[in-house]
Amino acid sequence: MPGHEGPSVYHLLNSNVPPKPLEIPIVESRILDLEYELRKLEDELGRHRAILSPVRRMPREVLGHIFTFLQPFMYGEEVRNAEGRKELVDLSLVCKLWHDATLFAHELWAGLQIKPRHMVESFKPVEAWFSHTGSLRRRLQYDGCHLDDCDAFTDRPRLFDDCGRPSTYLSREPSPCLLATSVLPHLLTRGPPLDHLTLMCSTTECFRQFRDVMESLRDDSANAKPRPWDTLRSLGLQFGSVIYQWNTPVQPTFGLHFAHLPFVESLEIHLPSGLDQVVEDDSEEYDVSRLELGIPRSLIEHLTNLSIHCTWSVPHLLKLLQYCSNVKMLTIEMQHFGRALWDLETQPLVQQYLASPLVLPNLLTLRIRKSRDVDLLHLLKAPQLANLDIEMFPLDPVKDEELAVPIATFLEQSGCAQGFRSFRLGRCIIDAELLFTILSNLPSALATLTLDNLVDVAMHRLWKLFEDNDTARGRSDLCFPNLEKLEILEVPPGYHLDAVVDYIKSRGPSFKFQLVASYKMREQRVLKEKDIRDSLRRAGSGVDANVVPGWPYVLSAA
């Protein structure tokens, strides 16, 4: 090394002698040479270190599992839209290891969303995409409702808003539907097997035209293979609008659009509102018994999971439920602005099931969504019920007869106390006394209690009522003696959980008990969790407490 410096520069390396003017360019040139050599060595060092990188030695199975956390959720489903598909392909192009990892993680390819622009020419690419799923169940979503500008047209100039509607003002014939002319009928006839299909249709008329196309593509020959449409296990139908048939000025009917559904185990039907004004303005002339979904009885009897989102009043629902002998999970979204149950007492089915409740023999989970009241529970009986989940339509404070009485009646006539495990109440305006009445009457077998986004509940008052109740009954006869998990979610800002903590401590040690809480705001939540943990630890309660991020915030608490 010194030999390369030259005698005129070497003496400067081991001394503080300032360089002469002629020596400065020599030193500067040497610095540039050394920097260049240093960069080469650093690059070489980095390449050698990369050989020993943990990421490089990570098994492709682990890397593929990490990639699954990027799985998208389009309208509540794990399916990839055009943007998500591009992201996945870009991920696979990083290197060979990442390419192999994406192909090995079959679940990355198991969910796919298509739109009306995907015509018959799209069949091969869709089939190729699903070829990477291995033996996993495939999910397909057709989205004909949420379209942007680039989705509004296909190669045939047809606006998606006109799907299924009269083609002209004077014509009564509906226009051709993009759903019926898309690649979907061909996929469901000769494509790969599917487990779940969601059809998000512009109108109910679109589905009728699609159904007719599927019937025309049916091969009834002896050697015909089952179509993916016929072997679906799960089906979801969502409609942007409903096209009714008006046989009288105020009496609509609903066509039998669902007469040829596949024999699925899980069915979800979502019909938007559209008759609310008719029901309210012409309540004396309007006959709700005329409205029927027209789902075949044989299909209903085969279902184990049924989800109904419909604004029609109760009778149409009872006509379905009377055949739900095998349904284990039932979701009912009420959201109706029509008649209350007690205004329909003259209806034969309502009278029948008020006298003798409708038995759902295998029902394990009942979910009621967006309801002003739960009067429907008076008509039902579920002897195997384990989970009850009620989410209200929070317009006004609920009254005792709207919530507490129906719940108590339903649980009592069901006789499900021994197997009852969880109760959730969400999006409800309710005071502490009424909430205490509901909760204190729940079966003692209850293991999980969830209070989610409740308004006007004085938490200190509620849990003081429980503490006083337990004191009066004695420690050997606690409320919720088998409770293992208490969730208090979406607590308003400024509310404190001190009363909850005090109540838990008053129950005595319980090493199975878990407290989970979330706030509507992120402020000071980590600190609050530490306070809760310290308080419970000092009391020797053994309770595991967590303050989790409140939706829509993403905040981790240590």
What does the pLDDT look like over 449-482, one tens digit per residue?
A: 999 998 888 888 888 888 888 888 776 677 888 8
φ, ψ (nearest 5 deg) of residue 25: -60, -30
> What are residue 16's phi and psi, to 5 degrees?
-105, 20
Q: Which residues contact 330 (CB under 8 A, 6 or more apart)?
A: 305, 306, 307, 321, 324, 360, 363, 365, 366, 367
Q: Which residues contact 253 (CB under 8 A, 6 or more apart)?
A: 244, 245, 246, 247, 290, 291
537 HSE (CA, 13 A, CB side): 7
* 385-410 pLDDT tens trace: 999 999 988 778 888 888 999 999 99
The pLDDT score that the predictor gives to residue 279 is: 40
Highest mean pLDDT among 50-54, 356-360, 510-514: 356-360
Residues with Cβ within 8 Å of 268's Cβ and at least 6 positions away in sequence, in order, are 198, 235, 236, 237, 238, 306, 307, 308, 309, 331
Q: Are 327 and 360 in contact (CB under 8 A)?
A: yes
User: What pLDDT is attached to residue 171?
Assistant: 47
Q: Give the pLDDT of residue 553.
A: 43
Is the pLDDT confidence value at 155 over 60?
no
What pLDDT was estimated at residue 415?
Answer: 95
List the one residue out of 305, 223, 238, 227 whose CA is nearest residue 262.
Answer: 227
Mean pLDDT of all residues in 356-373: 93
Which of 216-225, 439-448, 481-490 has the weakest average pLDDT? 216-225
Lowest-pLDDT range of 201-210, 341-350, 462-471: 341-350
| Contact (Cβ atoms closer than 8 angstroms) between residue 488 and residue 451 | yes
pTM tops 0.85, yes or no: no
CA distance 405 to 438: 8
Alpha-carbon distance 138 to 196, whole Å?
7
Bond before 59 cis per omega within 30 degrees = no
Question: For residue 44, what pLDDT is reported?
Answer: 92
What percentage of the chain exceeds 90 in pLDDT?
29
Distances (CA, A) of 75 to 81, 109, 198, 238: 11, 17, 10, 11
What is the number of other CB atoms lying within 10 angstroms of the CB of residue 367? 16
Residue 407 CA to residue 216 CA, distance in Å, equals 48
Using CA atoms, how far apart are residues 398 and 429, in angstroms rounded to an integer?
6
Higher pLDDT, residue 77 or 555? 77
Euclidean distance between CA atoms 385 and 368, whole angstroms: 14
User: Containing H/E element for 488?
Assistant: strand 485-491
Type of residue found at 311:
T
The mean of the pLDDT values for the chain is: 80
Alpha-carbon distances, residue 382 vs 49, 318, 364 (angstroms)? 64, 14, 8
Q: Are strands 251-253 and 245-248 parallel, antiparallel or unpaired?
A: antiparallel
| Alpha helices by DSSP H, 14-131 | 24-51, 54-57, 60-67, 82-92, 96-104, 123-130
Separation CA 456–CA 100 (nearest Å): 54
Predicted confidence (pLDDT) at residue 283 exceeds the cutoff of 50: no
Alpha helices in 336-458 (DSSP H): 348-355, 404-414, 432-440
Residue among 317, 319, 341 at smallest CA distance from 331: 317
Crossing angle for the helix pair 459-473 and 432-440, to the nearest 10 degrees: 40
Q: What is the model's pLDDT at position 343? A: 64
Structure tokens at 19: 């360089």
